[in-house]
Structure 1
């Protein structure tokens, strides 16, 4: 059975909440087994549950370690069921997914290069999982039939989850990270410029901003009616305003690029003014008041307490902020992006440093790269890199640049494979007869490509969940829905 069941979805949410109230790892594993078991019979329930789990997964795992495999097992189970139900010969899968061989080739190059450099097998598999797990969404979505109501349901689930995440972010902001956070998260030693940012249940301001803006733009896919108009406007203001509280410049630039691509392709010039108004209203009604309230509470000294000195191994070290201002705001962050002081600090320890150091490593491993888990990727955060000591790289480095990460880890071969995959994807999407979904897909690809300049975007499970869903949906040979229109 593949139909969505509300009662089962509610049961899954209650079970997950139970595992947070009683955070026993044993309970977490038992709940994982129960949910995965139901996914065998109700695979779409499992997939839709991922639109709740991934946006809060860091928090879930921090509270209850038994949830660490929950999302992965749900997705793997759902994909296996979809493949089994299709009952197609091997020739079908080779024909339909031969382009995916490019992606698998990148993973193989990264793994073999890493093993040659000296990483462990678990480290290499860790990075493969980071890149591959949500990629499987394409297969499930492409091999399943989707109706308009099901896409609306995904958006509705995303809105409810995002609003929950927003409320948590507001509490985090006004409490100066004292309330509703795990103790370990409260103890993070953040740089001054990062203390004012909200990290949310995703434990990362950039990932949080990406998620909120995805949901913001997805609300425009809902058919506009008189009963929905005002609630949707309020929801968009809340989502956009909260995303501003992350001070995530790269995310704003990436989604602005995606929005421009969509507007040009659809010739939706009338949408420019509403988007601008949402930005202004969100800044005025959410960002600015929340920022002022937080500042007033902070100045009152309400949360000023004498903290016990923590051992160095319990402190999450981060590089010093290039510019420290007493009243740093979003506008100032954009102004200072290209200042001499910012550029100098970035070259010493920042994005420029990451690129220059990456190019230095690339010169020693030009063809196939130094491999996964060797330079600033997800795996190198959990496993020690065999080349850091040689190049004088600190252990906590994260590239925050998908292109330099790919170039260093897979070299010229891996980079060419990735560029070829992007070209084929753009070509395939461009050939879609449905102009609306062609525009959505190309704008999503534009957002992905621009985000790669600022983040390791392919490791972002929330972004790739939505992105790969879109790609899987438009690759589906079933007739695409024609009735989605912007407000």
Structure 2
């Protein structure tokens, strides 16, 4: 057992001595090159707050503007992160095991770009990936401040409430479908699928999964009657709106989120239970959630009909479309299994037509796992799965620490972990994760987990966090 635990700790980088890495790192040595300028700068006295405002601008505008403006905001975030890093005190430079795996994945994507059969298109995708990762670096740095973290989450939840309310309005007053989202031969051909400001119900579902997770966290974190009522309202609106997208992938993500959130919450509060409930609270809670899910499927006809299409195979047009796309994507992977074709949908759009089945054009692989393999090969998939493993493990380690301290900020961490699980479940059968409105939220969750990082006891004195 000791050897297994040691191997697991090595895989998850639990005992990584980052303070030793810093001593020989060129990046670390240049990180404070502008700190003397910062000490005399009034502007940089507000560095963390300015960074948080830039991040807020990205998420505040993302549901309502085109992707070009989001790109401009990401460039601004990247530039400010560089300035913040160069002017930081060395002890303030944020670097965690999660950062290390993010850099590894970025490096593999860079090599895949250089070897891509469509280099220009892959380079465009590489630029976008780099901007997302720089946003992650800025968020992980800024959100080490519990106050800025909480203020930003509150701001983001108010934006999602606007999106959710408009989606509910579409449900009550009707809205025109902007594409063929429901099989016209099915029992649900006339159903209204809401999409709010996002223009697509599947995209809206992907956008709302983090909103549900964080609004559930807000119920537990926010103090006072009115803030809690507001959080409950947000959770209800976001949840109902997500269900009314009738996105099957979104529903799977919703269930995975609720399941993970419930398990982690029961773990958090089980320390206050008597011995019997400490042992059985999680199994009973999970069983209760499963029973509620089955009950909803049985007694709500639209839900029952929509869930039935998941098992219809090629009998459902949406299923049939995805199966044909997956078959073509598997052939693409077979031809370039090691490093793929390079990142981005532009590269995919140039290569996929060579493999596509007639009449089954697609903009993506309709599966995050397949998308990662087709873009960066099995080498990239290994790094991606390693990143997920380290991220979830770090989340669990920090959650245990906050539970011991009875720190209510742990509920934000529960929400972030549960949201990642939900987004992954959704992404198994869709690739809305690659749209800017959702991709930024994915890296937000990873950054929230990274922001809680504290090094092991041997490195605490030389690599401490401000959290």
Q: Tell me the TM-score normalized by structure 2.
A: 0.67
Q: Which runs of 5+ in 1 are unaligned?
A: 1-37, 179-185, 289-327, 481-487
Contact 2:125 2:346 in 1 (8 A): yes
Aligned residues: 370
The residue number in structure 1 matching 2:239 is 240
SS in 1 for 2:350: coil
Q: 8 Å contact 2:340–2:375 — kept in the other structure?
A: yes
1:379 aligns with 2:346: yes
Which residue of the other structure, out of 382, 385, 388, is the alignment partner of 2:353?
388
Give the 5 Å matches for 1:457-476: 457-459=433-435, 460-475=438-453
Change (3 A) 1:413 1:338: same
Check 1:372–1:329 CA distance in 2 against 1; reply closer, same or farther (3 A cut). same
Offset of residue 247 of structure 1: 0.9
Aligned counterpart, 2:130? 132
Quick one: distance in 2 between partners of 1:347 and 1:145? 40
Asked if the contact 2:51–2:142 (Cα under 8 Å) also holds between the matched residues in 1, the reply is no
Deviations 1:385-422 (A, max 9, x none): 14513544644443221101112222222222222222
C-alpha distance in 2 between matches for 1:248 and 1:95: 34
* C-alpha distance in 1 between matches for 2:466 and 2:415: 16
Structure 2: gaps of 5 or more residues: 1-45, 270-280, 404-409, 455-463
Aligned residue for 1:349, secondary structure, equals: helix
**Which of 374, 378, 393 is residue 427 of structure 1 equivalent to?**
393
- Using the alignment, how far apart are the partners of 2:110 and 2:190 within structure 1? 36
Q: Of the candidates 325, 328, 333, which is equivalent to residue 354 of structure 1?
A: 325
Task: Assess if the C-alpha contact under 8 Å between 1:169 and 1:242 holds in 2.
Answer: yes
Structure 2: distance between partners of 1:439 and 1:40: 24
Name the structure 1 match of 2:335.
364
Question: Contact 1:135 / 1:468 at 8 angstroms: preserved in 2?
Answer: no
Q: How does 1:158-173 map to 2 (within 5 A)?
A: 158-173=156-171
Q: Secondary structure at the match of 1:55?
A: coil
SS at match of 1:431: helix
Are 2:57 and 1:49 equivalent residues in the alignment? yes
Q: How does 1:264-279 map to 2 (within 5 A)?
A: 264-267=263-266
Residues 197-232 of structure 1 show CA distances to partners (whole Å, capped at 9, x for unaligned) of 122212222231233232233123332422333333
Do the aligned partners of residues 409 and 92 (structure 1) sit closer, same or farther apart at CA in structure 2, a change above 3 Å counting?
A: closer
SS in 2 for 1:86: coil
Given the alignment, which residue of 106, 111, 117 partners 1:104? 106
Spell out, residue by residue over 1:58-110, the C-alpha distance to the aligned partner (whole angstroms, 9 max, x if none): 4xx6xxx6x35432233213312321231549x98699943333211231243
Find the aligned partners of 1:93 and 1:153 in 2 and give their Cα distance: 23
Shift of 1:113: 3.8
Q: Secondary structure of 1:202's partner?
A: coil
Report the CA distance shift for 1:445/1:144 in structure 2 as closer, same or farther (over 3 A).
same
Aligned with residue 208 of structure 1, among 204, 207, 226: 204
Q: How does 1:28-107 map to 2 (within 5 A)?
A: 42-58=50-66, 67=69, 69-88=71-90, 97-107=99-109
Cα offset for 1:236? 2.3
Deviation at 1:360, TM superposition (A): 1.9
Change beyond 3 A, Cα 1:386–1:479: closer
Q: What do residues 273-319 of structure 1 show as CA deviations (whole Å, max 9, x unaligned)?
A: 9x97xx99xx9xxxx9xxxxxxxxxxxxxxxxxxxxxxxxxxxxxxx
**Is 2:189 the counterpart of 1:177?**
no
Q: 1:69 and 1:92 mapped to 2: Cα distance? A: 24
Distance (Å, rounded) in 2 between the aligned partners of 1:144 and 1:363? 42
Instruction: Tell me how far apart the structure 2 counterparts of residues 413 and 160 of structure 1 sit (CA, whole Å).
Output: 40
Q: Is the aligned partner of 1:417 residue 2:420?
A: no
Q: Which has the larger displacement, 71-80 or 387-396? A: 387-396
Cα deviation for residue 333 of structure 1 reads 0.7
Whole-Å Cα distance in 2 between the matches of residues 208 and 95 of structure 1? 32
* Alignment match, 1:454: 429
Cα–Cα, structure 1 residues 128 and 73, in superposed 2: closer, same or farther, change >3 Å? same
Shift of 1:253: 1.7
Contact 1:55 1:462 in 2 (8 A): no
By how many angstroms is 1:347 displaced?
6.2
Partner SS state of residue 386, structure 2: helix
Secondary structure in structure 1 of the residue aligned to 2:154: helix
Correspondence for 1:255: 254
241-250 or 166-175, which moves further after superposition? 166-175
Residue 299 (structure 2) pairs with residue 333 (structure 1)? no
